[in-house]
């Protein structure tokens, strides 16, 4: 399966999935872009095409977690700088 067809099939559902977990739409769009970059880079490592959907959602969940890790670190550093 090529990235264009994956994008067509999953774009809306992934954006909705991310938007429910990240309140800022711009952040959600950024995360979605990162997800598709990771999919494009790693699609050849997927050995079982039957697991495509679960593989894509695992990448998406991890991208959301990474977003919150970055956000938390930035917030803590901002608080430390203000001290």
The predicted pLDDT at position 15 comes to 98
Other CB atoms within 10 Å distance of the CB of residue 26: 8
For 15-38, write each residue's pLDDT tens digit: 999 999 998 999 999 999 999 999
CATH 1.10.1060 describes domain 3-82: no
Question: Residue 18's closest CA among 54, 62, 73?
Answer: 62
Q: How far apart are CA 70 and CA 73, in angstroms?
A: 5
Mean pLDDT value across residues 56-81: 83
- Cα distances (angstroms) measured from residue 34 to each of 3, 41, 78, 79: 13, 11, 25, 27
Residue 80 is predicted with a pLDDT of 62
Residue 67 has pLDDT above 70, yes or no: yes
Dist CA 72 CA 41 (whole Å): 27
């Amino acid at each position: 399966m090529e990235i264009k067809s994956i994008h067509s099939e999953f774009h809306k559902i992934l954006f909705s999935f991310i938007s429910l977990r990240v309140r800022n739409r711009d952040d959600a769009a950024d995360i979605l872009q990162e997800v598709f970059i990771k999919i494009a880079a790693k699609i050849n490592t997927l050995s079982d095409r039957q697991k495509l959907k679960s593989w894509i959602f695992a990448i998406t969940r991890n991208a959301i977690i990474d977003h919150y890790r970055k956000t938390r670190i930035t917030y803590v550093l901002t608080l430390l700088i203000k001290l």
